[in-house]
């Protein structure tokens, strides 16, 4: 039933984000197909111009930039809440007197958040895949998988950051404001001084894109993804420790 509680707490945020991301991606890819196909849709083979493929793939790469932005916004909001917020609302005494350890409460919340983050990464790209397939301009499943892998594998660090901040700060607006501030500041600082370690560029596919074909054709950036996942895991561990030490 802890799963049920976690679902009830996050379902409106999750479903709103899912609908927004999916609708946005669907409209975007529809327009991308329209542009790539000389403003004709559906698009028969004979009307396609010679460079449509790279144009279309470039637009998919642009789509990923917007998806990443909205996805980060969504996972940060999904990472909010938890016991500190419950303390502010007065319900923490009910949750913490259940015969359940604080670590388990955190585990369930984090697992639910990760599951939702994955769904938020997969479903919009699945919509893109289906729409382009139906339009007769299919994109490869491998490309879609690559985008999703980058988004979820690299981006979970943003969710972990949100969980950590919400385990330290209880304010309804303070916690998300701090997290968004940290995301923005991190992106700016890393881009100026440590560009190779900029998670934003990793997640959007900037490090993996071929600038001629606009396909993610380079190798999967495993060190970057694993490094990002390790930092995310450390942040989540720190959140559990913070909550275990906190007084309610």
Partner 1 sequence: MTSEPAILTHGLTKSYGHDDAVRGLDLSIGRNRITAFLGRNGAGKSTTIKMLLGLIRPTSGSGTVLGKQITDAEQNRRMRQRVAYVAEDKSLYGYMTVEQTINFARSFYSDWHVDAEKKLLLDSELPANRKVKSLSKGMRTKLALLLAFARRPELLILDEPSEGLDPVGIEDLLRTLVSCSADGVSVFFSSHQIAEVERVADHICILDKGCLLMDASVDQLRQSYRRIDMVFPSPPPEREFQISGVKRIRTAGNQVRIFSSGNAEAVVERARNLRVVSVEVAPVGLRDVFLETVREN
Contact residues: partner 1, CB under 8 A: 1, 4-5, 8-9, 89-94, 96-102, 244, 247-248
The minimum distance between CB 104 and partner 1, in angstroms, equals 9
Whether 89 and 83 have beta carbons less than 8 Å apart is answered as no
Whether 230 and 175 have beta carbons less than 8 Å apart is answered as no
Q: Name the residue nearer to partner 1 (CB basis): 92 or 208.
A: 92
The minimum distance between CB 81 and partner 1, in angstroms, equals 11
Q: Name the residue nearer to partner 1 (CB basis): 172 or 191.
A: 172
Distance CA 248, CA 246 (A): 7
The minimum distance between CB 223 and partner 1, in angstroms, equals 37
Q: Name the residue nearer to partner 1 (CB basis): 76 or 83.
A: 83
The minimum distance between CB 80 and partner 1, in angstroms, equals 15
The minimum distance between CB 99 and partner 1, in angstroms, equals 4
Q: Name the residue nearer to partner 1 (CB basis): 12 or 212.
A: 12
Q: Name the residue nearer to partner 1 (CB basis): 1 or 44.
A: 1
Total residues found in the chain within this entry = 248
C-alpha neighbours within 13 Å on the C-beta side of residue 150: 28
CA 59 to chain centre: 19
The minimum distance between CB 207 and partner 1, in angstroms, equals 41
C-alpha distances out from residue 107 to 114, 148, 228, 241, 245, Å: 10, 24, 19, 12, 16
Distance CA 183, CA 178 (A): 9
Q: Name the residue nearer to partner 1 (CB basis): 140 or 244.
A: 244
Distance CA 51, CA 69 (A): 28
Whether residue 42 is preceded by a cis peptide bond, meaning omega within 30 degrees of 0, is yes
């Amino acid at each position: 039933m802890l799963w049920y509680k976690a679902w009830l707490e996050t379902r409106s945020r999750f479903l709103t984000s899912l609908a927004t991301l999916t609708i946005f991606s669907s409209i975007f890819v529809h327009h991308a197909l329209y542009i790539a196909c000389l403003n004709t849709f559906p698009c028969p083979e004979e009307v396609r111009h010679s460079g449509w493929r790279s144009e279309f793939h470039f637009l998919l790469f642009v789509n990923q930039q917007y998806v990443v932005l909205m996805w980060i916004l969504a996972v940060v909001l999904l990472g909010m809440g938890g016991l500190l917020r419950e303390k502010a609302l007065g319900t923490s005494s009910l949750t913490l007197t259940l015969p359940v350890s604080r670590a388990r409460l955190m585990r369930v919340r984090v697992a639910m958040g990760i599951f939702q983050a994955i769904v938020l990464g997969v479903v919009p790209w699945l919509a893109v895949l289906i729409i382009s397939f139906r339009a007769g301009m299919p994109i490869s499943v491998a490309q879609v998988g690559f985008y999703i892998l980058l988004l979820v594998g690299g981006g979970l660090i943003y969710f972990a950051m949100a969980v950590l901040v919400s385990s330290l700060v209880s304010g309804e607006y303070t916690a998300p404001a701090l997290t968004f501030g940290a995301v923005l500041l991190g992106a700016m600082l890393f881009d100026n001084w440590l560009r190779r370690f900029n998670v934003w560029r990793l997640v959007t596919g900037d490090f993996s894109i071929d600038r001629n074909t606009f396909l993610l054709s380079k190798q999967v950036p495993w060190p970057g993804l694993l490094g990002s996942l390790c930092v995310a895991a450390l942040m989540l561990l720190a959140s559990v420790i913070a909550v275990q030490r906190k007084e309610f």
